[in-house]
Structure formats: C-alpha cells, structure tokens
C-alpha cells in the first residue's frame, strides 16, 4: 500500500505520471512529494514503492 494525501491506496509499482493520470491531474499543475522530498518533474517516471508516503498538490487558478 502507498499513502497518497493521507489515504491508503493500492498503487505500488505505478509511476508518478500514471498516478497523476489516474487522478486526472495535469502534471504541469502539480507538485509531488514522496517522504517529504519534492519529486522533480523529470523523475515522474519513478515508480511508487510499497510504504511510500506521497503528497500530491494539484494547483487551481486564482490569486
């Protein structure tokens, strides 16, 4: 299991890019942290590992 934004999900082995796609998030509008560290956009091919704790922010417009 992987923790995504505090919720347990069965997505170990999925890449960050695939996870964003499944969440219908545009990678150009996201920030992804795994274990508190930012995942650079160039590394979105990285696979999520069992036990990873990921935080995903999908930014919306306005400011």
Partner 1 sequence: MVTEAEFAAAVDSRSDRPIYANMHAARIGIAGLGGLGSNIAAALVRSGVGQLVLADFDTVELSNINRQLYTLSHIGRRKADALPEILREINPFCAVTSHALRITAENCAEIFAGCDIMIEAFDDPVQKAMLVNTVMTQMPETPLICGSGMAGFGNANAITTRRITPKLTLCGDGVTDVADGVGLTASRVMICAGHMAARAVELILEENRSEST
Residue with the two structure tokens 């920030």: 31
**Residues whose CB falls within 8 Å of the CB of residue 21, separated by 6 or more in sequence, listed in order:** none
Q: CA–CA separation, 5 vs 11, rounded Å? A: 13
CB atoms within 10 A of CB 14: 16
Q: What part of residues 2-61 is at the interface with partner 1 (CB under 8 A)?
A: 28-31, 33, 36-38, 40-41, 55, 57, 59-61
Q: Minimum distance from CB of 13 to partner 1 (Å)?
A: 24
Q: Which is nearer to partner 1, 50 or 61 (CB)?
A: 61
Positions that interact with partner 1 (CB under 8 A): 28-31, 33, 36-38, 40-41, 55, 57, 59-63
């Amino acid at each position: 299991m992987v923790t995504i934004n505090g919720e347990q999900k069965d997505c170990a082995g999925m890449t960050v890019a695939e996870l964003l796609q499944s969440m219908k998030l545009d990678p150009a509008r996201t920030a992804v942290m795994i274990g508190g560290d930012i995942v650079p956009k160039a590394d979105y091919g990285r696979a999520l590992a069992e036990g990873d704790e990921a935080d995903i922010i999908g930014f919306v417009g306005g400011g």
